[in-house]
Amino acid sequence: MPKNPNIKKVLVIGSGPIVIGQAAEFDYAGTQACRSLKEEGIEVVLVNSNPATIMTDKDIADKVYIEPLTVKVLQQLIIEEKPDSVLPTLGGQAALNLAMELDESGFLKEQNVRLIGTTSLTIKKAEDRDEFKKTMEKINEPCAPSKVVTTVEEGVEFAKEIGYPVVLRPAYTLGGSGGGIAYNVGQLMDILANGLRLSRVGQVLVERCIAGWKEIEYEVMRDGAGNCITVCNMENIDPVGVHTGDSIVVAPSQTLGDKEYQMLRSSALNIINELKITGGCNVQYALKPDSFEYCVIEVNPRVSRSSALASKATGYPIAKVAAKIALGYTLDEIKNAITGKTYASFEPALDYCVVKIPRLPFDKFIMAKRTLTTQMKATGEVMSICTNFEGALMKAIRSLEQHVDSLMSYEFGHLTDEELMQVLHRVDDRRIFVIAEAIRRGISQDTINFITKIDLWFIDKIAILVEMEQALQKEEMTPELLAEAKRLEFPDYIIAQLSGRKEAEVKAMRIENGITAAFKMVDTCAAEFAASTPYYYSCFGSECEVEKTEGKKKVLVLGSGPIRIGQGIEFDYCSVHSTWAFKKQGYETIIVNNNPETVSTDFDIADKLYFEPLTPEDVENIVNLEKPDGAVVQFGGQTAIKLTESLMKMGVPILGTSAENVDAAEDRELFDQILEQCCIPRPAGRTVYTAEEAKAAAAELGYPVLVRPSYVLGGQGMQIAICDEEIDEFIGIINQIAQEHPILVDKYLVGKEIEVDAVCDGEDILIPGIMEHIERAGVHSGDSISVYPAQSLNKKVIRVLEEYTRKLAKSLHVIGLINIQFIVADDEVYVIEVNPRSSRTVPYISKVTGIPIVELATRVIIGETIRGMGYTPGLQPEADYIAIKMPVFSFEKLRGADISLGPEMKSTGEVLGIAKTFNEALYKAFLGAGINLPKYKNMIITVKDADKLEAVEVAKRFEKIGYRIYATRSTAKVLNEHGVHAVRTNKITQESPNIMDLILGHEIDLVIDTPTQGRDKNRDGFLIRRNAIETGVNCLTSLDTANALATSLENQEGKNLTLIDIATI
């Protein structure tokens, strides 16, 4: 079936900000799809509120709207742009839900716009619990006994009937929000009440618990003619009970015989046919380990995180093919871009093993519960490829960058055997390490299997790794043993540790015996056909099949690894743009990365893709083979920066800012010297190593002080201390993060925080714009609302900022990008941080100013000059628009995490509000971040004493908008004294009705709660904030944010928005 000629202009809906459960995979899918549509001559209109994405670049779509993803905005956009079709299946659950609302309201029909890629009927059949169950019954596909309930009572009744435990799944939520397993009626009532509230349609499925069964997924494609294929199947090592996004996953399935494999494959095709899906689809199964009994757990009628993983695991470009199918093509008409010979209508055959491990945020949220459940908690993931499972697991573990490079890394040694057995029952992110320890202790594999329900095959593989640890400790080191250890992907330094050698000795012995890494190709077809796409992974004991390339200059671009808080999708944006810029300049580009969700690991971004861990040893293997002319580290975040020194030792020139200068920015003493030379003030500070020294420094500087480890990202471990006790506490925490670097103690200045990104060619600088944070200093820049252009600075201050930036860039000999954070207090400018690399604000500033910062930085790195590229050095003229970057958090997914903002970053993503006026931009930003107010016009204010007077002003503004204000005793007293009509409410500890009842009563729009300084010791405040978040109530912990929200509400209520196509900027 050829392309449908009636499709000429398509609106693609993106997935919005990165949140837990909906991450970079949709940037990858959306980007691939948009490019695929453009390839077909389709005019593509894109809408996505997330500015850090590649898909929102003007070279990806014809028209790009970075606007809030709401029904109203989409309606306006459709009326203005008049697309003939809407493609909603590539923007995750967010896009699908929006499309459903547009369709159900009759709006699409009214506007004569069709949904392509799926129909609303299909979405309904797959997503609506009741419809889904009926559909499965009709085609004889088994589901676990279940019932859709709309009230808690109904749920309790049904659970009584089928018996506990039961699984609860709210309809239409992403990442399983609000779901969970209930083992008794109390838990059921809790989870169910929450789930009913979170579900868009107020439905929750109560289901027989099939925890402990094997969890298997199939990625299926179907075209409009009814042709179906499966791209890949995957087996979760963690049995049913852990969300697949939080599970360790292996592809293809390892413990299924052909009978089981085909049974489930046929079922998946049966389902996709019945649902009449046109495009990609993901089907999840529970398979009973001791029979052929299975249940369909879930169907996602769209491209998903699993499809991104399946695409990278097999080389099959699911999103690209899905987009072509949406246009009307059939699978046998679409070429397999990897082989260039075969067609999309075939099933990839793998000749390797793929392991995915989730990246969980518990290093950031040390208070959060680590337990893994059916609600996803991971912020990102890594993938690794090897010819054996053990090797793939080892490579994935070290790709996580969590100071864990083997199975020995968590210390469970102090536990008794009994305690260890207890820990084995815990389902959390450390489980494989506990299993390894249990094997070391001689606990039988059967016992481990009985407790964890993890298949014996996987447990035995862990045992093989443990046996190798022991062999390396005890046996004589022979070339055979070393070769086997490398086949299992033990890093050299771990082999060295275990065998009591030096790393260099191990390496020398390897080289002497020819034990070196070989690279194999991912080709979708197990070598059956010659492939033309150079996508490689390493293994040992094999022939290397990388084709030598010569002629062009080669550049190695180091990616940023898994998405984590503090290092998100923006660094992938930078890596990809840099790669494209190098390509344009005639370079051969090589990307190394291990994140399956990203655009950078798509097979056609760089000339060569190495899907590898980003450790010195792994990178060296690539360097030895490719002998690049240089490497760029400034675009891949801290992950890439960390590799600088090792790359230099390998003899690879670092392109752009040199390693010494990167060091100079991070090293307190060197940096202080530079500041002194430049006459730039910074808050007074000291470098210390112990708590005693820190306290002495604090006494000298005067509290409050900022305490942080050097060499961190996202402000990890950074705290504001107001007394000696807090210093003791914080330094204790810092030391837990295994820091070899010194600790910095700075005077904490209250002032405006300003951020500048600049390109420097060694001589001149180019500043695309100056950004100002809404929240005063002390809130991490990634968690602050950031405004471009800065609104409250006078000309003199701006000149000083420009001057300081120039001086710093020159003194640090920056070639490429530099990011500087300043504090402006009483018109005095202080420098607080300098990062000689790309930053999280680069994508948004590029988009709003129209200046391609990464491309310019890349060209500068190659040797061009700012003037030579046609730019006038210095601060560029302000753009015609105000752009406001608003952080987005995922607190509702992380039980126990404190939401209060501070120097440590907590947000997972961001949205942009862009408009001609500040107020509209602010309103759009809040709207995009999901703060869609007012609703009930009730709010709660409870602030710490120091903030009480300031809170009066905030309260007055909200009162004027029409808000009824509730406040706890002391806050209410102050408010009332100052003329605000605050209703006093009881504290949590007091009798009902108290503040908690108010929150749970579902009629509160907003809670403003400013926590006491430092780590939260105020149990009440913590409970209020957690409950607000878990009840879906907006909760602000900074009065600056509250003021900004008031501004937005005062000005925008009821007004129409002006939508802006950023491709015209």
- Rule CB under 8 A: which residues touch other proteins? 225-230, 252-259, 261-262, 265-266, 269, 289-291, 330-332, 341-343, 345-353, 387-389, 455-457, 460, 464, 520, 525-530, 541-543, 545
Are residues 934 and 901 in contact, defined by beta-carbon separation less than 8 angstroms?
no
Nearest distance from C-beta of residue 234 to other proteins, angstroms: 12
Number of residues that this document lists for the chain: 1065
Q: Please, which residue, 542 or 791, has the CB nearer to other proteins?
A: 542
DSSP state of 55: T
Task: List CB contacts of 90: < 8 A, sequence separation 6 or more.
Answer: 12, 13, 26, 29, 30, 33, 117, 302, 303, 319, 322, 323
DSSP state of 867: T
Q: Please, which residue, 458 or 891, has the CB nearer to other proteins?
A: 458
Tokens for 881? 């628009």
Rg of the chain over all Cα atoms, to the nearest angstrom: 28
Which residue intervals of 246-385 are DSSP H helices? 258-274, 305-314, 318-326
Residue environment code for 269-288, b if the CB has 16+ CB neighbours within 10 A, otherwise e? bbbbebbebbbbbbbbbbbe
Nearest distance from C-beta of residue 512 to other proteins, angstroms: 19
Are residues 460 and 389 in contact, defined by beta-carbon separation less than 8 angstroms?
no
Task: List CB contacts of 973: < 8 A, sequence separation 6 or more.
Answer: 984
Whole-angstrom distance, CA of residue 421 vs CA of residue 444: 11
Whole-angstrom distance, CA of residue 312 vs CA of residue 418: 41
Tokens for 250? 């292996």
Which residue intervals of 524-614 are DSSP H helices? 570-584
DSSP state of 291: S
For the annotated binding site for Mn(2+), the residues are 284, 298, 300, 821, 833, 835
For the annotated binding site for ATP, the residues are 129, 169, 175-176, 208, 210, 215, 241-243, 284, 298, 708, 747, 749, 753, 778-781, 821, 833
Nearest distance from C-beta of residue 482 to other proteins, angstroms: 16
Task: List CB contacts of 454: < 8 A, sequence separation 6 or more.
Answer: 237, 238, 239, 435, 448
Least Cα distance to 43 among 16, 83, 77, 93 occurs for 83
For the annotated binding site, the residues are 129, 169, 175-176, 208, 210, 215, 241-243, 284, 298, 300, 708, 747, 749, 753, 778-781, 821, 833, 835
Whole-angstrom distance, CA of residue 715 vs CA of residue 901: 12
Least Cα distance to 15 among 1, 27, 28 occurs for 27
Helix or strand (DSSP H, E) at 1006 = strand 1006-1010
Helix (H/G/I), strand (E/B), else coil: 678: helix
Query: What is the 3 state secondary structure string of 405-456?
Result: CCCCCCCCCCCCHHHHHHHHCCCECCHHHHHHHHHHCCCCHHHHHHHHCCCH
Nearest distance from C-beta of residue 329 to other proteins, angstroms: 12
Burial degree of 1054 (CB within 10 A; 0-12, 13-18, 19+): exposed
Nearest distance from C-beta of residue 425 to other proteins, angstroms: 22
Q: Please, which residue, 343 or 689, has the CB nearer to other proteins?
A: 343
Q: How many CB atoms are closer than 10 A to CB 936?
A: 14
Whole-angstrom distance, CA of residue 935 vs CA of residue 722: 38
Nearest distance from C-beta of residue 332 to other proteins, angstroms: 5
DSSP characters over 798-863: HHHHHHHHHHHHHHTT-EEEEEEEEEEETTEEEEEEEESS--TTHHHHHHHH---HHHHHHHHHHT
Nearest distance from C-beta of residue 114 to other proteins, angstroms: 24
Q: Please, which residue, 6 or 291, has the CB nearer to other proteins?
A: 291
Tokens for 558? 């180091």
Q: How many CB atoms are closer than 10 A to CB 837?
A: 28
Q: How many CB atoms are closer than 10 A to CB 732?
A: 10
Nearest distance from C-beta of residue 456 to other proteins, angstroms: 5
Are residues 232 and 310 in contact, defined by beta-carbon separation less than 8 angstroms?
yes
Burial degree of 442 (CB within 10 A; 0-12, 13-18, 19+): exposed
Q: Please, which residue, 265 or 747, has the CB nearer to other proteins?
A: 265
Nearest distance from C-beta of residue 141 to other proteins, angstroms: 15
Task: List CB contacts of 1056: < 8 A, sequence separation 6 or more.
Answer: 76
Nearest distance from C-beta of residue 674 to other proteins, angstroms: 52
Tokens for 668? 């307190």
Q: Please, which residue, 527 or 737, has the CB nearer to other proteins?
A: 527
Are residues 177 and 893 in contact, defined by beta-carbon separation less than 8 angstroms?
yes
Nearest distance from C-beta of residue 263 to other proteins, angstroms: 9
Are residues 804 and 820 in contact, defined by beta-carbon separation less than 8 angstroms?
yes
Q: Please, which residue, 207 or 235, has the CB nearer to other proteins?
A: 235
Nearest distance from C-beta of residue 325 to other proteins, angstroms: 13
Which residue intervals of 53-201 are DSSP H helices? 71-81, 92-104, 107-110, 120-127, 129-138, 152-162, 185-198
